[in-house]
Structure 1
């Protein structure tokens, strides 16, 4: 038996989304082959090991727990149970956004030498940071929209200059985004200076730097890339939506998004987009999985919007559906594949030398 410890919740604005992802992962795993242990992390950072799960999770509230221990005490207790388990074990961080998808939990798991699913420290940290991702993609010629980025300090000290510069670069309408946030939290569309200032102030509630992008009139499409050393891209999927952009409610609450798979785009552009998705995966040194989000215009010009190094696995999520449409991979098979890739990467890291070999 393989033990799978599913981390969920966490200190993140995407706390509730994480619970949806975790529930789906837990329910998908064959309990005859895997021992599944949810580990709920509260919004305060307390770790609560929920014990072995044998039944279906029907409500995300079943994953929540209460602990009166200190943060260090609760972490130590949960990790002690994992360490004492003599069977093969792996961590599945079903965590989104800060303190989960940004490299922090990955670095912690590396330090305590536990295998885990998904991307490592660098790719997770860079992938969540829109500003650094854009700078990196510009070096490898991945198409992007016009944009400008700045910190809160720069905004306070040079507001007039930044206003003038960004209006020249992006114009209106434009989108204001916190650099390190997901699920469209803190993102706003602006059509004038007044809305722009309000959106900038809101974005700075979620991060100390932000990016402002020009609006591209087109469709939003997504490609999933899965693998380690030989990543493969899925077919392209797109959403038909009623709103100008997919905010948090549209993604997780309204249920008004319609998936179109494969997307309505030419074969030539399809191949170019799939190739660019793999290049993005490699540029970030990813492992396990990544979802690459695009804008595609009516003239078949495409731009990479952003990447997601731990995309959601809710019933509305694109990633599992893309692979089912690509090669028939079921949800459960995809989760198992990611677990195998996590073990593979762990064994590669274990084979590295950590002392200087003398001649």
Structure 2
């Protein structure tokens, strides 16, 4: 009788199979977890877009309720279009800003997320065309294409500014698709200038001062919101790359953004305060914050900005004190969500009657 060593199939088959199943278990569940996270993010984005859209469309009516002020025709639709326009300005401006921060990091991964700038430019162009059609019908919602007087846009100041925004978004999209996407900065600046001039007509007291404050306000808000969005997208992209997770580079990028973003936040606060005092004298601010539609929307925006600042502070504390600095990503994501709501409320403000100074 010969002695034979039992083969893996004969004696150890069950043990090896169980070990293989145990090893394959976590690997098999990893794609499922990734799919669940992707689904959760998609739902969160959909909810944010829906809430922002509803705030834009219903915000003017809610703010005007009980004030005795008249609403502009189609104020909800106009606010929705301007929300899209503001968001389309934030995305590419923030990408340029945050991409510059990434290049300043020594040893940072070379790969970066795909740019959303071309899509943002397309959405902004559509929104600008919609706003131009409103201007072409005398600031009324067109009931038919025949109501739109395209030639009349060249004859009015608001019409020329609306056309400038359309052309600037087209130029920004072409620049984003070119080999030198950094050239987007010029058409994006033109859009901010057009918005600043539109918000302060020549009949206003010191319109150039008001336009300058609005230009700085819009640009700082775009850099802050769009920059944070791109930073978070970059961290997620680096986490999905092969090889060792660039923990140090991710924490360094988030910390660098937190330090640099303090400048736009300070400028945003200063320009917003100055613009408010120009339109509402100090002795009437508290009263108009609750009795006028503009004041109510402004109060809602201020409260949201306070929430954003608190979330930014929490993220900064976690960056400096937590054992894992990337736990700061959670409040940073919430900050982006609230900033999206701030954009919607800012769009609502543009459709409300300006308070009367007395």
Looking at both structures, which has the greater relative contact order when contacts are Cα pairs under 8 Å and sequence separation is at least 6?
2
TM bin, normalised by shorter chain, reads under 0.3
TM-score (norm 2): 0.27
TM-score (norm 1): 0.27
Question: Which of structures 1 and 2 has the bigger CA Rg?
Answer: 2
Bigger share in helix: 2
